[in-house]
Amino acid sequence: MHSFTEENYLKAIYKLQETNGEVVATSALAQVMGVHAPSVTDMLKRMAGKKLVTYQKSKGFKLTEKGKQVAVGIIRNHRLWEVFLVDKLGYKWDEVHDLAEQLEHIHSEDLTNKLDKFLGFPKADPHGDPIPDANGVLPKSKAVLLSSLKVGEQGTFTGVTDHTPAFLNYLDKAGISLGNTLKVKAIEEFDQTYTIQLNDKKGAVISHKVANSLLVNK
């Protein structure tokens, strides 16, 4: 089918489009793929030939519908395997990403669907990221950053925007887990430090940097 390399490019383009807008620059892609710009130009020309992306010299590129389907399929695999690793094998949420990077490239729609069923059709991965369904439909999330809440507002912690083990470990240490309810008690004016109340009991003080990496459903 497609090579691992192609699949990784598609996934990277998809994510860049999600956050940085429709058109993706060579340099941005080179950066996230960890290669130099000419490699991207070469690769994208090949992929344009396969109708996975549209490409106009020096203008950037976008995924075609076909390219988007492949990308979403890989993301579905990735997130389902992460659930498997955490729920079934006992991995912690900060340990699974690199393994899922390998497992996501196993080529079998049937396997993906059987895995989905085995896991009980989870809606989100261990980091709260939504899992596309078998038709490639990715539920639109209405979560917002904790840093957008005002004093007195509350919500449920449903995801992170920073997926690094360092940050995930910090959350473990601070006793903040997916599903916790939290309420903003105070925001320090000087440096936007948040004082929150977790699960209607424990209190916690977190920096703006942290509040800016936590997603909550109001």
Partner DNA sequence: TACAATGATTAGACTAATCTAATTATATTT
Partner DNA sequence: AAATATAATTAGATTAGTCTAATCATTGTA
Binding residues (CB under 8 A) for a copy of itself: these are: 85, 88-91, 99, 102-103, 106-108, 111, 114-115, 118
CB of 58 to DNA, least distance (A): 4
The single-letter DSSP state of residue 218 is -
105 interacts with DNA by CB under 7 A: no
Closer residue to DNA (CB): 7 or 82: 7
Residue from the set 7, 104, 116, 125 that interacts with Mn ion by CB under 5 A: 125
Measured CA to CA, the distance from residue 193 to residue 158 in angstroms comes to 20
Measured CA to CA, the distance from residue 179 to residue 199 in angstroms comes to 9
Q: Does residue 182 sit in helix, strand or coil?
A: strand
What's the residue count for the chain? Answer: 218
* CB-side neighbour CA atoms (13 Å) of 212: 6
Separation between Cα atoms, residue 188 and residue 155, nearest integer Å:
19
- Of 84, 97, 132, 149, the one binding Mn ion by CB under 5 A: 97
Residue 36 binds which of a copy of itself, Mn ion, DNA, none (CB < 5-8 A, kind-dependent): DNA
Binding to DNA in span 18-77, by CB under 7 A: 25-27, 33-46, 55, 57-60
If the CB atoms of residues 60 and 132 are measured against Mn ion, the closer one turns out to be 132
The correct pick among 2, 11, 76, 127 for binding Mn ion (CB under 5 A) is 127
Beta bridge partners of 214: 160
